[in-house]
């Protein structure tokens, strides 16, 4: 049953009175869904500018590409994230993944629209897949929820069935960059029947740490002929010491 436009506003006001919007960080009442309160907002370090490829901050230099990307750019053509990984950003990730606060996927996606605009305009959004064992235990793939929310907000298409994770890898928490690369080697494949040749793709994930998982996905896609593979995350680790 459709609700007339004249009734929508009163119904929304009644709903907001009964269930007011809450801060995504601390739960304080806010003016709209998905916003942060004045206390939590400063705790988010929004990414902007930086290295043309990976988005890391460039300090005291006129260069547009960081030294790490010049030395080894990897398989990803561009990396963007909404915020730097910190306590507030980490809290949202943990509450989404382990607290089952799935509405936070939309909050994250709302802030990911700005960096998404820096990526290829015709790209298909591809959530980084979970292995079926982890998907069964968790009940959802947080990257898929974020990608679906991005589609609703931006209109960009997404396809959660481009890639599959065929190898169950141990949790990467606490591993070094080289250990992570070894752990995800051979973990991803293109799903049967999928064709990515000549296509532009944007991998979607919640957190970008060392890039081992995203790079493994990108290598498979490039091997199958993808024209470009970029990555969009809610948060990314800026300081290596914060890889947890």
Domain CATH code at residue 71? 3.40.50
Please indicate, yes or no, whether residues 17 and 77 belong to a single structural domain of this protein. Answer: no
Q: For the chain, how many structural domains are there in total?
A: 2
Identify the sign of the CA torsion 178, 181, 185, 187: positive
pLDDT-based confidence at residue 14 (cuts at 50, 70, 90): very low
pLDDT-based confidence at residue 240 (cuts at 50, 70, 90): low
Report pLDDT for 47.
Answer: 93
Please indicate, yes or no, whether residues 16 and 94 belong to a single structural domain of this protein. Answer: no
Mean predicted confidence (pLDDT) in 149-167:
96
Find the domain containing 27 and state its range: 1-41
Please indicate, yes or no, whether residues 69 and 185 belong to a single structural domain of this protein. Answer: yes
Mean pLDDT of the chain: 87
At residue 84, what are phi and psi to the nearest 5 degrees? -75, 145
Mean predicted confidence (pLDDT) in 98-112:
94
Name the pTM for this structure. 0.87
Please indicate, yes or no, whether residues 66 and 119 belong to a single structural domain of this protein. Answer: yes
Extract long-range pairs of 116-120: CB within 8 Å, 24+ residues apart. Answer: 116/80, 116/150, 116/154, 116/156, 116/202, 116/232, 118/78, 118/80, 119/78, 119/80, 119/202, 119/230, 119/232, 120/200, 120/202, 120/228, 120/230
Report pLDDT for 201.
Answer: 98
Tell me how far CA of residue 11 lies from CA of 1, 16, 21, in angstroms. Answer: 15, 9, 15
Supply 28's token pair: 């304080």
Which residue would you say has higher pLDDT here, 180 or 89?
89
pLDDT at 1 over 90: no
Most confident of 7-16, 22-31, 164-173: 22-31
What is the spatial distance between Cα 10 and Cα 137, in angstroms, rounded to a whole number? 41
pLDDT at 237 over 50: yes
Q: Say if CB 27 and CB 34 are below 8 A apart.
A: no
Please indicate, yes or no, whether residues 128 and 170 belong to a single structural domain of this protein. Answer: yes
Please indicate, yes or no, whether residues 188 and 133 belong to a single structural domain of this protein. Answer: yes
Please indicate, yes or no, whether residues 7 and 123 belong to a single structural domain of this protein. Answer: no
CB contact burial 130-149 (16+ within 10 A = b; e otherwise): bbeeeeeeeeebbbbbbbbb
Q: Say if CB 231 and CB 205 are below 8 A apart.
A: yes
Strands 200-208 and 124-127: parallel
Please indicate, yes or no, whether residues 113 and 125 belong to a single structural domain of this protein. Answer: yes
Please indicate, yes or no, whether residues 214 and 155 belong to a single structural domain of this protein. Answer: yes
pLDDT-based confidence at residue 243 (cuts at 50, 70, 90): very low
Please indicate, yes or no, whether residues 31 and 106 belong to a single structural domain of this protein. Answer: no
Please indicate, yes or no, whether residues 80 and 171 belong to a single structural domain of this protein. Answer: yes
Supply 190's token pair: 């293109």
SS3 assignment, position 61: coil
SS3 assignment, position 83: strand
Please indicate, yes or no, whether residues 96 and 81 belong to a single structural domain of this protein. Answer: yes
């Amino acid at each position: 049953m459709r609700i007339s436009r004249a009734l929508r506003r009163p119904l929304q006001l009644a709903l907001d009175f009964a269930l007011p919007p809450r801060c995504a960080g601390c739960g304080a009442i806010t003016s709209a869904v998905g916003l942060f309160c004045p206390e939590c907002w400063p705790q988010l370090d929004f990414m902007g500018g930086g290295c043309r490829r990976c988005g890391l901050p460039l300090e005291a230099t006129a260069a547009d590409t960081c030294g790490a990307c010049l030395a080894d750019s990897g398989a990803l053509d561009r990396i963007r994230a909404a915020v730097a990984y910190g306590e507030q950003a980490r809290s949202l990730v943990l509450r989404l993944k382990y607290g089952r606060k799935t509405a936070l996927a939309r909050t994250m996606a709302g802030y990911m629209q700005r960096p998404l605009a820096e990526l290829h305009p015709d790209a298909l959004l591809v959530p980084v897949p979970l292995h079926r064992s982890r998907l069964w235990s968790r009940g959802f793939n947080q990257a898929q929820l974020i990608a679906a929310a991005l589609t609703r907000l931006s209109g960009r298409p997404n396809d959660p069935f481009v890639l599959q994770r065929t190898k169950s890898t141990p949790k990467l928490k606490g591993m070094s960059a080289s250990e992570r690369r070894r752990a995800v080697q051979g973990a991803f494949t293109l799903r049967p029947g999928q064709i990515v040749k000549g296509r532009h793709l944007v991998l979607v994930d919640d957190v970008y740490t060392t890039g081992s998982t995203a790079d493994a996905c990108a290598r498979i896609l490039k091997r199958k002929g993808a024209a470009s593979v970029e990555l969009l995350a809610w948060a990314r680790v800026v300081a290596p010491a914060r890889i947890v």
